Amino acid sequence: PGKAKAEVIGFAKSVRKLGQDDPRRITHSLKVGLALTVVSFIYYLRPLYKSFGEAGIWAVLTVVVIFEFTVGGTLSKSFNRGLATLLAGALGLGAQYLASLSGEKGQPFVLGIFVFLLAAASTFTRFFPRIKARYDYGVLIFILTFSMVSVSGYRVEELVVLASQRLSTILVGAAICIVVSICICPVWAGENLHNSAASNMENLASYLEGFGGEYFQSGEGSNSDRSFLQGYKKVLNSKPTEDTMANLARWEPGHGRFGFRHPWKQYLKIGALSRQCAYQIEILNGYIKSDNQVPLEFRCKIQESCTQISAECGKALKSLASAIKTMTIPSSTNVHVENSKTAVKDLQISLKAVSLEHDQELLAILPGATVASILVEIVISVEKISESVHE
């Protein structure tokens, strides 16, 4: 029983952590519950039941399948589902009509051929990257509705009634989803994208601000909090999430500080540059672990300017991140970029002064020199990010 108790406590802790990490998860779960309860009532209460008929169950299905975490996701799925049902329904009716021309015996075969051709062709379109990104769900519903309508075996007149009923229940379900999703603590994909751009930069900045101290430390008191050294790893694999968010953000109406046609693509550009910078940091990070064998004399020579470069780059990124957050024109960034460039010049001067005459070998100082060289590249990356934020 002790073990079981420990497991329950562990589970409770992980639930709490999930909720604390992002409280929107809790509100989202409650929102789904609410939307589903509302739509159930519509279906369950008798007077309403009569007007929708059996098809009311499709409203429940619609809510469960359509309700996504972000407003953009919900809107995109609603749109996809509605349009695909309409199109496929019309096509299905047409197919039924054509098949009925071929007589009682031929009908199933003609319909079978239609279903086969349409399903194969539609499935193939799902491999187009652009369709996959935006209309994947729509194509799925298209195949589904078409095959359901064309094999249902009803007469065309019945089908028209059935189809209009189903369409109206889908509309009811989608409307409830959209209202709940927008009106109660909405989660905007665009805002997520915006915040993730800022938080990525902050992660990079924390690393760079701490890098100097970490790399040049004398080795004591090093067991303090080092989580800032891990944050940048999230940035390395940020691409797929950002792509999805940008796709969903296009569906969202204007909200808060974002207009309807906010330049979401710009965030992808910023994201790519941030990842570039994260790759450089990943390489730098390899040097923190491995070397203390660089001669102290050389380390001292580059210590000040390298620490300076790294710290100023970090500050520049921090100010860019906060500029993104507040959507103002970044004011102090240029100062920090300029400072880091000055530090690069200082570094170059110290490097010029290095002579390899007495007991210092190029080989020995190489790791340190590489760190310096990568830091210079990071300055360039940061400058590019800064330019692209200004756009």
Contacts (CB under 8 A) with a second copy, residues 59-88? 60-61, 64-65
Tell me the C-alpha distance between 245 and 106, whole Å. Answer: 48
Residue pair 371/319 in contact by the 8 Å Cβ criterion? no
| Interface with a second copy: number of residues (CB under 8 A) | 77
Using CB under 8 A as the binding rule, whether residue 136 contacts a second copy is answered as: no
Is there binding between residue 260 and a second copy (CB under 8 A)? no
Q: Taking CB under 8 A as the rule, does residue 34 contact a second copy?
A: yes
Choice from 157, 225, 357, 391 touching a second copy (CB under 8 A): 357
Q: How far is the CB of 133 from a second copy (least distance, A)?
A: 14
Which residue in 76, 80, 96, 147 binds a second copy (CB under 8 A)?
Answer: 147
If binding is defined by CB under 8 A, does position 167 make contact with a second copy? no
Q: Could you tell me which stretch among 33-41, 191-199, 218-226, 326-334 binds a second copy (CB under 8 A)?
A: 33-41
CA distance 372 to 379: 11
Distance from C-alpha of 329 to C-alpha of 316, rounded to nearest angstrom = 13
Measure the CA–CA gap between 209 and 223, rounded to whole angstroms.
Answer: 17
Q: Retrieve residue 263's tokens.
A: 């330049």
Cα–Cα distance measured from residue 67 to residue 186, given in angstroms and rounded to the nearest whole number? 12
User: Is 175 near a second copy (CB under 8 A)?
Assistant: no
What residues have CB less than 8 Å from 18, skipping those under 6 apart? Answer: 25
Q: Which is nearer to a second copy, 223 or 293 (CB)?
A: 293
Q: Which of 90, 367, 384, 388 binds a second copy (CB under 8 A)?
A: 367
Residue from 104, 352, 359, 391 that binds a second copy (CB under 8 A)?
352
Please report whether residue 116 would count as binding a second copy according to CB under 8 A. Answer: yes
Region near a second copy per CB under 8 A, out of 108-116, 206-214, 251-259, 311-319: 108-116
Among residues 83, 87, 98, 115, the one that binds a second copy under rule CB under 8 A: 115
By CB under 8 A, tell whether 128 contacts a second copy: yes
Site for a second copy contains 25 (CB under 8 A): yes
Please pick, from the candidates 289, 293, 355, 391, the single residue that binds a second copy as defined by CB under 8 A: 355
Give buried/exposed letters for 270-294 (b at 16+ CB in 10 A, else e): bbbbbbbbbebbeebbebeeebeeb
Question: What is the rounded distance in angstroms from the CA atom of residue 215 to the CA atom of residue 285?
Answer: 9
Of 241 and 332, CB closest to a second copy: 241
Least Cα distance to 166 among 152, 182, 183 occurs for 152
**Phi/psi-derived region of residue 217, left when phi > 0, alpha when psi is between -120 and 50, beta in every other case:** beta
Task: Select 40 or 334, whichever has its Cβ closest to a second copy.
Answer: 40
Select 329 or 362, whichever has its Cβ closest to a second copy: 362
Helix intervals (H) in the chain = 2-21, 24-44, 46-52, 56-66, 71-101, 103-125, 129-151, 156-183, 189-216, 232-236, 239-249, 264-290, 296-326, 333-353, 362-390
Contact between 279 and a second copy by CB under 8 A: the answer reads: yes
DSSP 270-318: HHHHHHHHHHHHHHHHHHHHH---S-HHHHHHHHHHHHHHHHHHHHHHH
Taking the C-alpha atoms of residue 194 and residue 289, their distance in angstroms, rounded to an integer, is 33
Pick the piece of the chain touching a second copy (CB under 8 A) from 73-81, 116-124, 163-171, 218-226: 116-124
- From residue 238, give the alpha-carbon distance in Å to each of 133, 200, 206: 17, 9, 17
154 forms part of the interface with a second copy (CB under 8 A): no
Smallest distance, Å, CB 225 to a second copy? Answer: 24
Q: Which of residues 181-240 bind a second copy (CB under 8 A)?
A: 236-237, 239-240
Query: Residue 94, interface with a second copy (CB under 8 A)?
Result: no
- Which residues in 286-305 contact a second copy (CB under 8 A)? 286
Do residues 204 and 278 touch, judged by C-beta distance below 8 A? Answer: yes
Identify the residue among 12, 117, 156, 179 touching a second copy (CB under 8 A).
117
- The answer to the question of residue 121 lying near a second copy (CB under 8 A) is yes
Nearer to a second copy, 266 or 367 (CB): 367
- Candidate list 98, 144, 171, 268; residue touching a second copy; CB under 8 A: 144
Q: How far is the CB of 329 from a second copy (least distance, A)?
A: 29
Q: Nearest approach, Cβ of 85 to a second copy (angstroms)?
A: 13
